[in-house]
């Protein structure tokens, strides 16, 4: 299973790697709010890393730091602590010797090369360049520096995605997770992505106790970051709740899904696709606990949302309706059963393949 998310600095790079990086020094546009400003600065910072433009990186980190301070210390992409560490580490190298500057350029070139290989699926070469970049980062910035911890996580992701050395990838993620905790850096994107990586990794290896442990940790990390309105968070809740329900841990599944449904969540458009899944897992958890209140309403809400999502697959809509039908039958609600069956028949009639006039006729026994 591929990791759903990548990490901190690297995630920003991956989001912008296909952009026109020649515009890295272009003047930033006016922003409607602090979040937009920080997201724009983070993207430009990612481009500067791809270009190994150290001076531009320091400048953009300083702007990010100022924006976070002006926003009562809250960072939407990176935490205040992450930006401060990244700035201080880079500033120290830039104010050092010409040799250190050249080494920093070479270190970033190695990491940029690793990312390009990873984007193209050449994981063997990506890992080799990640390792070189990481060894150089240890010397330049330190073993527990922000730069080193970021590379450790993206390298662990690459190792795990090869499918050949899962234990090694998990061990590197675990090491990074523990180091971040020891540094009290649990409010940033790096910790959030690291715990998410552990969740998906342990889920892939069917180590469910650890998967659930780190899934819950990732939810708490998102809450600290105030990123519970993101697709990444909603996708996490949907996946974790599904696995918790499979394990009959209905109470935990109910807790995390209810927290989403009680708040603001997408109810239309492509952004609502995870809301449908969360509604279904909420209903499943309620039934598992023997509490049938609000189950029909939740299924109905999921159907309404699904109908408003452009291109929502008929197979997924049918799957949802059949789950609702099973519940209606278990409650012996004949009126509801008939209504759901009519909706199912309507969808199935639309999805039946039509015979072309040029198709061979069906083989029938026409007698003598």
pLDDT for 27-62, tens place per residue? 555 666 888 999 999 999 989 998 999 999 999 999
Judged against a pLDDT cut of 70, whether residue 17 lies above it is answered with no
Count of the separate structural domains present in the chain? 2
Domain boundary among 155, 181, 207: 181
Q: Is residue 88 part of a domain?
A: yes
Could you list the residue range(s) of the whole structural domain that residue 323 is in?
Answer: 242-351
pLDDT at 193: 92
Residue 218 has pLDDT above 50, yes or no: yes
Whether 14 and 153 share a structural domain = yes
Residues 260 and 173 in one domain: no
What percent of the chain has a predicted confidence (pLDDT) above 70? 86
Kindly state whether residues 167 and 250 are assigned to the same domain: no
Q: Are residues 128 and 39 in the same domain?
A: yes
Sign of CA dihedral 12, 18, 22, 23: negative
CB 168 within 8 A of CB 159: yes
Rounded CA separation 315/67 (Å): 46
pLDDT > 90 in the chain, percent? 74
pLDDT at 5: 40
Assess if residue 276 is contained within a domain: yes
Specify the CATH number for the domain of residue 255. 1.25.40
Same domain, 167 and 247: no
Is residue 98 located within the same domain as residue 246?
Answer: no
- Please list, in sequence order, all residues whose beta carbon lies within 8 angstroms of the beta carbon of residue 21, skipping any fewer than 6 positions away: 47, 50, 51
Q: Are residues 119 and 253 in the same domain?
A: no
**Is pLDDT above 60 for 4?**
no
* Span 95-107, average pLDDT: 95
| Residue at a domain's end among 164, 181, 198 | 181
The answer to whether the CB of 164 falls within 8 A of the CB of 137 is no
329: left (phi over 0), alpha (psi -120 to 50) or beta: alpha
**Domain co-membership, 145 together with 290:** no
- Exposure of 43 in the CB half-sphere (CA atoms within 13 A): 19
Is 212 inside any structural domain?
Answer: no
Whether 3 shows a pLDDT value over 50: the answer reads no
């Amino acid at each position: 299973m591929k990791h759903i998310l990548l990490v901190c600095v690297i995630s920003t790079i991956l989001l912008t790697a296909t952009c026109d990086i020649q515009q890295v020094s272009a003047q930033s546009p006016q922003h409607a709010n602090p979040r937009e400003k920080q997201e724009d600065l983070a993207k430009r910072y990612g481009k500067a890393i791809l270009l190994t433009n150290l001076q531009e990186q320091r400048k953009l980190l300083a702007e990010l730091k100022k924006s976070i301070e002006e926003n009562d210390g809250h960072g939407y992409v990176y935490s205040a602590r992450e930006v401060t560490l990244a700035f201080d580490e880079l500033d120290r190298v830039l104010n050092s010797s010409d040799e250190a500057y050249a080494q920093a350029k070479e270190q970033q070139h190695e990491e940029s090369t690793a990312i390009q290989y990873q984007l193209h699926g050449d994981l063997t070469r990506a890992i080799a360049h990640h390792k070189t970049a990481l060894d150089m980062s240890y010397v330049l910035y330190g073993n527990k520096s922000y730069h080193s911890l970021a590379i450790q996580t993206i390298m662990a992701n690459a190792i795990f995605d090869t499918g050949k050395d899962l234990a090694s990838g998990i061990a590197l993620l675990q090491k990074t997770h523990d180091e971040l905790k020891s540094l009290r850096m649990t409010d940033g994107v790096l910790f959030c992505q690291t715990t998410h990586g552990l969740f998906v990794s342990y889920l892939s290896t069917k180590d469910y106790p650890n998967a659930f442990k780190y899934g819950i940790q990732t939810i708490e990390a998102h809450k600290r970051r105030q990123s519970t309105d993101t697709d990444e968070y909603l996708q996490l809740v949907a996946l974790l709740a599904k696995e918790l329900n499979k394990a009959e841990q209905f109470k935990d599944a109910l807790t995390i899904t209810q927290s989403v449904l009680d708040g603001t969540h997408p109810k239309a458009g492509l952004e609502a696709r995870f809301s449908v899944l969360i509604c279904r897992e909420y209903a499943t958890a309620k039934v598992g606990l023997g509490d049938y209140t609000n189950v029909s309403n939740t299924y109905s809400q999921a159907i309404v949302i699904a109908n408003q999502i452009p291109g929502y697959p008929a197979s997924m809509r049918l799957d949802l309706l059949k789950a609702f039908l099973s519940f209606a039958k278990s409650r012996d609600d004949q009126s509801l059963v008939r209504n759901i069956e009519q909706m199912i028949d309507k969808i199935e009639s639309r999805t039946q393949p039509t015979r072309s006039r040029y198709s061979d006729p069906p083989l029938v026994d026409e007698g003598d």
